[in-house]
Structure 1
């Protein structure tokens, strides 16, 4: 008996579950997942998940152990909040991980022992310093030399560098890979993404973490929800052809890609989607800090260029930045495997969806170290300047498990985007004609 005569509750017996039972719970209103052999009901928790509801829901009915370890720096801290949603565990005979999962966990532990998750604060000070320098130069060229075409182009070039490099830099803070304090990472991410780039950190988290959780997985990775304009991989062309909605001439997509997605993604699509995101979700603080970028920009550049000239300057900058961003980010992903969810372990999932670009000082800077895309996807919280150090060990593990480890020159990677789009477009045309003939034969 407890105080006041109250009956003390007995500890609840932990229930054992099979994978068959867990996989029954992957609906929108009924979601379970498994982490380190323990079963959790995330149905209600998903809506409060700091990383967003979708990223955790993509693992409903699946083993999320490796994704959980990849996204969280302080596992013990996070586990304190998981007790309330813990409902049981996998039965002993179903807990044993695959060999590739054991090897990857050993690789992750090796990376920790090598100190590869410890950032160089000096490196990030230099990165932030060069952003501030280029932003100051962008204004200085126009303010001091006037708006002749030479200072105009010099200023514009500097501002493009600022925006592109700020994009790569905020990426590291967004992945919590710079400071040991999550709060400091979030603060710098907020300042870079909202105030320096005029975007939304919450919108970025919502989109980007889904991409990392299930890269190149159709219906889960937002980066491959392209079928309104492009079809990618081998399955999407078939799926779109089966719908018989000939909205776009996809067999010509490798041609129209050049003047649609790269130049228009930032100045049009992202511009609309990020504001839609913050307004629909009523993220007023996020909106306020995003708007401070535009207030600052217009206050600085309207006196130099006039309102129309400042807007023209802005959209030229956004267009070139967009081209830079699209070619870099898609070179690692579009030519790779794009499939429906096959519930692959973390290592083969990331290797099937990503490839690397050859290391050089220029490539490292130009891509913000995302030329080591394989390593970044395997270890998203690893500081960017350490990614090349783990690459030889990743390559060795690929050789052991007979998994392709692809490294390309930058030029080849860019060409492969167009080549893969051409292949996918031709597949769409083939399937469209096949389904068309099949429907006519049935009618006959």
Structure 2
């Protein structure tokens, strides 16, 4: 172990120790985890279980330099220091680089400067009125749907239109809860936490904690197998260029993957929210004894059936809800996957924050409709680089990010929405073809 005090600290390491990257990287297992922030070495083995963002997201940086991820996820580093201080076991040797595995130090430094300038310019400050107005238009959509049925009756034309309006409200509520899950809209965090629970629980019937722990992993390690849950396809699909070949060589054929771009339309958009997400949400809340989130979730269904059973009866209300979930699921899948599925999907490569996010995400052209339809997630690059930045400022920081990418030759992809949708299908087809070639190879 490196030079320093011989006083052993709980969990391993020596207080005031000096370490090399080789030593830090040896502590990257589930039961032994160190990481580096601003050249300081921390033993997070025990703390990971109590980490508010979940043990997995912090564990994904075990043995690595987590400085960039730490800055991205923690808008108030001073507040977090009181939790970090007891975990400090030493620092890197003076001869060691600040980043592990030969990352581009100049690129990282310039990105830090860009982020600091954006913060100085107030781009990380949320406008509560923006989000309140957005919440208001969601509530109005839900009220409009119920009033239409109440006034015009339950004929099939009104029901279909009502379903479309409710699905629109659900999708927009999804983007809004996404905002509150990422950033502090209100200065008082307690209010932000409560509003987030209200939107995702009472307006959508889902779980805030389930979403947080899952989604933060996606941002920490996007499109990285075994670290990003969004690319865990349970062997229903093979993604990227590496996984299909691995499956093909191992002769794994759980499904006809060369047809996955076709059965995607039957499995992905229609079933993700109504089936997979709902089963996972309920299961997670029960296993984790998350009774608060469960109560919020139950309040959604109580409100829904209270409003619609008098109009449609029990089975009619269930049918309407299923139709709404079906439409919402299509909206969600196409909007979220157009930014990620056609991009690089692979195993861990230990890239710097900017490069990792840019290779896993792309943007969709800005327009009033694209911004509203996607909840400003058409600016996926900026959202991933600055997850605590309010969405109404993405278009202001985007030119700065593009300029930095041009300086260092980092690809910055921009597409039309139609191209983004079609690239989902083509990427699945290309991956399926790679699997078939490897599978048939003797």
Q: What is the TM-score with the length of structure 1 in the denominator?
A: 0.94
Contact 2:244–2:432 (8 Å) recurs in 1: yes
Match of 1:72 in 2: 74
Contact 2:38/2:98 (8 A) holds in 1: no
Separation in 1 of the partners of 2:235 and 2:276?
13
1:182 is matched with which residue: 178, 186, 189? Answer: 189
Cα separation, 2, equivalents of 1:172 and 1:70: 15
Q: Does 1:108 align with 2:115?
A: yes
Match of 2:96 in 1: 94
Cα deviation for residue 227 of structure 1 reads: 4.7
Aligned counterparts of 1:395 and 1:177: Cα–Cα separation in 2: 26
CA distance in 2, matches of 1:428, 1:76: 49
Q: Cα–Cα, structure 1 residues 197 and 353, in superposed 2: closer, same or farther, change >3 Å?
A: same
Q: Is the 8 A contact 2:222 2:357 kept in 1?
A: yes
Q: 2:233 aligns with which of 211, 226, 234?
A: 226
User: Would the aligned equivalents of 1:177 and 1:382 in 2 still touch at CA under 8 Å?
Assistant: no
Closer, same or farther: CA 151–397 of 1 in aligned 2, 3 Å: same
User: In 2, Cα distance between the equivalents of 1:69 and 1:34?
Assistant: 12
Q: 2:384 aligns with which of 356, 377, 386?
A: 377
Q: CA deviation at 1:183?
A: 2.2
The answer for the alignment partner of 1:81 in structure 2 is 83
Listed as ranges, the matches of 1:18-417 within 5 Å are 18-97=20-99, 98-417=105-424
C-alpha distance in 2 between matches for 1:177 and 1:346: 22
Question: How far off is 1:314 after superposition?
Answer: 0.3
The CA distance in 2 between the partners of 1:285 and 1:106, in whole Å, is: 41
For residues 63-122 of structure 1, the C-alpha deviation after alignment (integer angstroms, 9 at most, x for no partner) is: 111001000111100111111111111111214451111011001011112211111222
State the match for 1:442 in structure 2: none
Q: Check conservation: 2:248, 2:435, Cα contact below 8 A.
A: yes
Give the number of aligned pairs.
427
Give 1:441's aligned residue.
none
Instruction: Tell me, yes or no, if the aligned pair for 1:176 and 1:186 is still in contact at 8 Å.
Output: no
Which residues of 2 match residues 431-442 of structure 1 at below 5 A? 431-434=438-441, 437=442
| SS of aligned partner of 2:307 | helix
Gaps in structure 1 of 5+ consecutive residues: 1-8, 438-444
Aligned with residue 426 of structure 1, among 430, 433, 439: 433
1:150 offset after TM fit, Å? 2.9
Kindly tell me: are residues 23 and 13 of structure 1, through their superposed partners in 2, closer, same or farther at Cα, counting changes over 3 Å? closer
Whether the aligned pair in 2 keeps the contact of 1:117 and 1:177 (CA below 8 Å) is no
Cα shift at 1:232:
0.8
String of CA shifts for 1:366-410, please: whole Å, max 9, x gaps.
000000000000000000010011000000010011011000000
Equivalent pair of 1:263/1:319 in contact (CA under 8 Å): yes
Q: Which runs of 5+ in 2 are unaligned?
A: 1-6, 100-104
How far apart are the structure 1 equivalents of 2:392 and 2:251? 47
